[in-house]
Amino acid sequence: MEARIDKIKQQLQAQGYKLTPQREATVFVLLANEDDHLSAEDVFLLVKEKAPEIGLATVYRTLELLHELHVVEKLNFGDGVARYDLRADNSKHHHHHLICTECGSVDEIKEDWLLPLEERLEKEYGFAVDDHRLDFQGICHRCKP
Amino acid sequence: MEARIDKIKQQLQAQGYKLTPQREATVFVLLANEDDHLSAEDVFLLVKEKAPEIGLATVYRTLELLHELHVVEKLNFGDGVARYDLRADNSKHHHHHLICTECGSVDEIKEDWLLPLEERLEKEYGFAVDDHRLDFQGICHRCKP
DNA sequence: TTAATTGCAAATGATTTGCATTTCT
DNA sequence: AGAAATGCAAATCATTTGCAATTAA
């Protein structure tokens, strides 16, 4: 965990960005809630607990910055807010998501199931894939009868 | 084309919704631009050409209604506006999208490549899939060197 | 020192809603 | 007739931006 934080800090500094307490607190919150898909507002409230003086605009700016640095994914599940998800350390691709229409939970599949499809895409459509997004809607194992 | 319109009309009426000229014009525009991914504003402007008295709120309400009836997909490509895409006649699933990061084009793959994955999901994760969404980002054949 | 960053408040832009009026069925 | 649908304007809500004050490097 320390290592992850340090790495992200380094990425910020390597690009010439300052490491402010607000940014540090935001990264910390993201790391501590890695399995959730927090909205900017969610992050704001969590950061506020430790650093009450932070402003919502700063959170938006920080999340946008981390998104540009490819540290977080920015996702939209259609509920009107953007959600932010820490990118896995190793993989360059998005997670796949299992969205339960019963309880609203969002689980993740960390494996990459799409490599064969991407090769086919390249051959049949001449499309060079950089990234992808795969979400499933349905009923999760917890809600099933 | 006539058949598609009639079918959609029937779906509306079957659920007890009225078939107003505004709804008809909106469906017509969607059908005539099936390969695009129009925003509500786009649809509004196109409908306005034939039916100038229509209001933007009505377009939003109609698109929402068609979405509930599963006649159109509502998509969000992360540019801040919802986009609407007529659902294929036969398939119950979303199209797959090829989003070019160079020219911004959005192409569609009409085949469903995910059935094998969905079976695996059911077995390994206990997740019962109703629908899915698969988008690829990359460079399209037109922009490739 | 000094360019980057922050917090706040105001601005923006997409979408939604209240309501009086009109229109399908 | 009567419920459903419309157009307009006002309201809402997420996100962005201008700016003067602060702060990390």
Question: How many whole angstroms separate alpha carbon B104 and alpha carbon B144?
Answer: 13
pLDDT digits (tens, 9 = 90+) for B70-87: 999 999 998 999 999 998
pLDDT, tens only, B131-140: 999 999 999 9
- Distance (Å) from the alpha carbon of A50 to chain B's nearest alpha carbon: 31
Which nucleotide has the shortest C1'-to-CA distance from A20? Answer: D24
Query: Is the pLDDT reported for residue A90 higher than 70?
Result: no
Domain count, chain B: 2
* % of chain B beyond a pLDDT of 90: 79
DSSP string, A40-88: HHHHHHHHHHH-TT--HHHHHHHHHHHHHTTSEEEEE-SSSSEEEEEPP
Q: Distance, angstroms, CA A64 to C1' C1?
A: 29
**In a 3-state reduction of DSSP, which class is residue B119?**
helix
User: What b/e readout covers B93-108, taking b as 16+ CB neighbours within 10 angstroms?
Assistant: bbbbbbbbeeeeebbe
Residues B143 and B82 in one domain: no
Query: What CATH code is carried by the domain that includes residue B133?
Result: 3.30.1490.190
**Whole-angstrom distance, CA of residue A122 vs CA of residue A77:** 27
Q: What is the DSSP string of B52-63?
A: TT--HHHHHHHH
Are A83 and A12 contained in the same domain?
yes
A100 and A69 in one domain? Answer: no
| pLDDT tens figures, A17-72 | 999 999 999 999 999 999 899 999 999 999 999 999 999 999 999 999 999 999 99
In the prediction, which pLDDT does B91 show?
61
Distance B144 CA to C4 C1' (A): 38
Instruction: Looking at the structure, tell me whether residues A69 and A131 fall in a common domain.
Output: no
Greater confidence, A40 or A110? Answer: A40
pLDDT of residue B49: 94
**Are A26 and A53 in contact, with CB atoms under 8 Å apart?**
no
pTM of the shown model: 0.89
Do B125 and B65 share a structural domain?
A: no
Banded model confidence at residue B1, pLDDT cuts 50, 70, 90: low
Answer yes or no: do A54 and A73 share one domain. yes
Task: State the CATH number of the domain containing residue A39.
Answer: 1.10.10.10
